[in-house]
Amino acid sequence: MKKLVMGLLGAMMILSLAACTPTTEKNKTGEVKEPQQEEVVESTADAGPGVVTGRPVDQNASNLTMVSVYSISEDGSKIEGTMDSVETLDAQSLVDLLIQYGVLDDGTKAVSFTTEGSVASQEAGPGVIADTTMAEKATLELNQFPSENQEKVLQAVANTFCENMNAETITIKADGQTLAEGLSFVDAGK
């Protein structure tokens, strides 16, 4: 009986090894065919994991800066963040994105954006590189500001400017009136 069981175990082991070993291309013995690699045009010098390099880079394309834009959810209950890009990172380009995402009204212009003081930052995160300096205070003046859902709109504008312009707090003014003072970045979704 032991011999029979051992014989069956041996046969099963041989069959499992035969089933699990890779096979060569049929009708060619002793020769394993290498998978063909397509010829790829290297398009970026610093291509990393997940970078598509098969397409040529447009050398005339402008450099874009990635920015975080905060908007109000459709039901108006929370602030949502998304990534976008701008050619030039300045106050008006951020205002234009906030208009595009429906946070500010059409025709809104950045009258001025100023920063004062600086604070060393040890934190790293979206838009902030470790060990950089941030403006302690920033002031944004707009030519107009929507009156509907003003608290969420103020926080969406503050989040967008604090993160992208590296400011710790921001004061937002419209038509010469201070709407909010000392706003800081608040996590999106609140």
Q: What is the pLDDT of residue 41?
A: 47
CB 155 within 8 A of CB 188: no
Residue 78 DSSP code:
S
Q: What is the pLDDT of residue 2?
A: 83
d(CA 73, CA 40): 42
CB 80 within 8 A of CB 71: yes
Q: Order of strands, edge to edge, in the sheet holding 167-174?
A: 110-121, 132-142, 167-174, 177-184
Q: What is the pLDDT of residues 64-117, one digit of tens each?
A: 889 999 999 888 888 999 999 998 889 999 999 999 999 999 999 999 998 887
Beta-strand pair 132-142/167-174: parallel
- Please state the separation of Cα 72 from the chain's center in Å: 18
Using a cut of 0.85, tell me whether the model's pTM lies above it.
no
Q: What is the pLDDT of residue 51?
A: 60
Q: What is the pLDDT of residue 135?
A: 72
Residue 90 DSSP code:
S
Strand partners for 167 = 135
Q: What is the pLDDT of residue 54?
A: 64
CA separation (Å) from 38 to 42, 54, 57, 59, 175? 12, 10, 18, 24, 60
All residue ranges of the chain with pLDDT < 50 are 40-44, 190
User: What radius of gyration do the chain's Cα atoms show?
Assistant: 29
Rounded to 5°, the CA angle 190-119-183 comes to 30
Q: What is the pLDDT of residue 100?
A: 93
Q: What is the pLDDT of residue 160?
A: 92
